[in-house]
Amino acid sequence: MDIPQIGIETLPQKVIDDLLWAYGGITQVELETRITALNKTAESHIKASINNFNVLRVEEWEILKEPFIIWQLYSKLEQEQITKDKREDYYMLIDSINRKQSESSTPIDTETETKGIMVF
């Protein structure tokens, strides 16, 4: 399975607008370059954090990579509250998937697992 790549087109428009403004007027192309560079970092972090990352489905990779990348983009801006919120969202998803994997070997219902968690 190919691990999906997160690009600017997968992020919510509000997040894109906020980041473009916060980074002081960078272009969408420059933001896309930063996002692309963070994909490998996200993959490495997820592989280190998920007990059995080999069974993750494409949707699960996307659900995990998007908040990680958003968290990293905001952390570079030193926006502490947003960074903390994004980090907590990411780790809640990691914990949820690890818990489900340890409870059973059946695929994870990401629709149910992410209910109530705002995923950006």
Residue 16 lies in a domain: yes
Residue 120 lies in a domain: no
Residue 90: partners with Cβ closer than 8 Å, 6 or more residues away: 64, 67, 68, 71
Q: Range of 27's domain?
A: 8-113
Res. 117: pLDDT tops 70: no
Residue 119 lies in a domain: no
Q: Is 29 left (phi over 0), alpha (psi -120 to 50) or beta?
A: alpha
Residue 3 lies in a domain: no
Residue 31 lies in a domain: yes
Residue 48 lies in a domain: yes
Specify the number of domains making up the chain: 1
Give the pLDDT mean for 91-118.
70
Residue 2 lies in a domain: no
Res. 7: pLDDT tops 90: yes
Residue 64 lies in a domain: yes
Is this model's pTM higher than 0.75 or not? no
